[in-house]
Amino acid sequence: GAVVSQHPSWVICKSGTSVKIECRSLDFQATTMFWYRQFPKQSLMLMATSNEGSKATYEQGVEKDKFLINHASLTLSTLTVTSAHPEDSSFYICSGAVSTYGYTFGSGTRLTVV
């Protein structure tokens, strides 16, 4: 089946630095990729929707200058958390739209900002 490979699985960074998270579609072309954030014991909250070759669409309340999304190819989408702060510590998950009603999720990235 369709697989999205997400890396890194976990990362610790210092406050003020930037972190890049990558999601690669291994056996399908991810025209659309969704990025979610999940705090402990909470649901997945959609941050943004990215379409290959165009600017991402951010959900209300999500700072586009802080969470930079690049979707330059059909197999790679990246999320960069810029100038990270402790409140950005969370579990970030990407999801690729495989088909009209199909979605596949990455394994997630645990970000801890110290």
Q: Give 45 or 83: the residue with its C-beta nearer to other proteins.
A: 45
Instruction: State the pairing for strand pair 76-81/19-25.
Output: antiparallel
| Interface pick for other proteins out of 46, 68, 74, 76 (rule CB under 8 A) | 46
Report whether the peptide linkage leading into residue 8 is cis, meaning its omega lies within 30 degrees of zero.
Answer: yes
Examine residue 42 and tell whether it contacts other proteins (CB under 8 A).
Answer: yes
Q: Does 93 bind other proteins (CB under 8 A)?
A: yes
d(CA 65, CA 53): 18
User: What residue type is 63 in one-letter code?
Assistant: E
Selected from 43, 86, 87, 114, the binder of other proteins by CB under 8 A is 43
Pick from 17, 45, 63, 73 the residue near other proteins by CB under 8 A: 45
How much of the chain is helix, strand and coil, in % rounded to 5?
5, 55, 40
List residues near other proteins by CB under 8 A: 6, 31-32, 34, 36, 42-46, 49, 91, 93, 95, 97, 100-101, 103-108, 110
